[in-house]
Amino acid sequence: MKIIIAGAGKIGRTVAALLSQEGHDITIIEEKAETIAAISNELDVICVEGSATNPEVLQEAGAAQADLLMVATQHDEVNMVCGVSARHLGTRHVIARIRDPEYLNQTEFLREALGLSVIINPEYECAKEISRILRFPSAVRVDTFSKGSVELVEHRVAEGSKLDGLPLHQLQQRFDAKVLVGVVVREGETIIPNGDFILQGGDRLGITGDARELRRFFLASGQYVKPVRKAMLLGGGRIAVYLARLLAEVGISVTVVERDRATCDLICDMIPEALIVCGDGTRSDVLLEDGITAADAFVALTGEDGDNIITSMYAHRCGVSKIVAKVNREHFSEILENSGLDSIVSPKTMVAQQIVRYVRAMDNSMGSSMETLYHLADGSVEALEFRVGAEASCVGIPLKDLRLRPNILICALIRGRETLLPDGATVIQPGDHAVIVAAAGRLKNIDDMVEGLR
């Protein structure tokens, strides 16, 4: 497909790299000549210098023939204008980034009024993910499918724990919980395991099940972490505003530490349910005075990756049981691997997942539709949700008779209000929602998983 990306910031570059890898024809519009020069050296894309609000620049980029425009400049209003212009020029689909909290309750109105296909809000998506993690603190990460019917949680196996040395085929019987391990990361290698696979301390697991069964599993395995009642947020930006509101809705007490006085005054009005403290949260004495030792969770959300990492390490030393840090630079992942900081979030990664899912859905002309897509294990594996159509080739056939392609695992089926962990006798039916783990980039529709029939 022909795709235009307007704005080459963190999100624009990340999305361009992913879609280029998937074989799409990418054109980037960017005003800064030095940014264009850097991108031209990094990616196999076409670059157009200029403003995305200028119709002539859009025409030069090929908006009249484009299948999709994603506009992600720094300004919401610019993104809206660009989206409207592209639609008038003939672009089939437009995705616009709109981030201001003032627009959050107007998303559907703006989408329809401006003719946009999708509105993305990276900060709000990031806040939702952190909220899920804090509501399920036993997990490093929580991804949801079918509006929360099924969750895929990431968990690290502790040395000497009940999971260390356990074959996967004994998992459900040992802990009396209907869960399934769909992916394992061991010493940098990503594995989609079978029942004979034996867990080891240090493994990072992707575990699928509904919320009740997952809680039963963590309790029985001795890995349960007490619920969060008090959370401290470092940084008073958009993510903190969204997150404080979400946490307040579920009864979690929130303290926000922000060094800028003007920002403190602003967010006092925006999140009256939170305690706002004006102070430098990178100083240990400030954090101690503001009650970090009494917090159940610490979330580092400043604009500096280094500050977020260092303060999170300090919170770990202070005994805070759940720590989440916002980190955008990928090369920090190896440093953080053995630091005790397991829950790392990145707004640009979440948006990239949304865009890739939407593009693959546009490509899909088969009897199924992609509903959800998450990247796991540093992007080497994907967890996908498909709504199964009547024409899908897997319908009506027991799973034991389907020859799945290598490195593919069906983790769960959602049928109405029932969640099924499939076995060989399970038959996929039209209307089911199938949660599948596969090597990255392999599945655009559900039929891609089938190699042939016995």
User: How many other β-carbons are positioned within 10 Å of the β-carbon of residue 155?
Assistant: 22
User: Over the stretch 356-410, which tens digit does the pLDDT of each residue have?
Assistant: 888 887 766 444 578 888 888 877 899 999 999 888 889 999 999 998 888 899 9
- pLDDT for 112: 92
- pLDDT for 235: 97
User: Over the stretch 117-171, which tens digit does the pLDDT of each residue have?
Assistant: 999 999 999 999 999 999 999 898 999 988 788 999 999 898 999 999 999 999 9
* pLDDT < 70: residue spans in the chain: 331-340, 363-368, 452-454
Residue 394: φ, ψ to 5°: -85, -5
- pLDDT for 368: 57
CB burial of 293-302 (b: ≥16 within 10 Å; e: otherwise) equals eebbbbbbbb
Spans of all domains in the chain:
2-120, 230-345, 349-453
Work out the end-to-end distance of the chain between its first and last CA atoms, rounded to an integer number of angstroms. 35
Assigned fold of 349-453: Alpha-Beta Plaits (3.30.70)
Q: Record the pTM.
A: 0.86
The angle subtended at Cα 393 by Cα 392 and Cα 397, nearest 5°, is 115
Q: Does domain 2-120 have CATH number 3.40.190.10?
A: no
The CATH class, in words, for 230-345 is alpha beta
Q: Do domains 230-345 and 349-453 have the same CATH topology?
A: no
Q: In degrees to the nearest 10, what's the CA dihedral of 346, 351, 357, 363?
A: -140
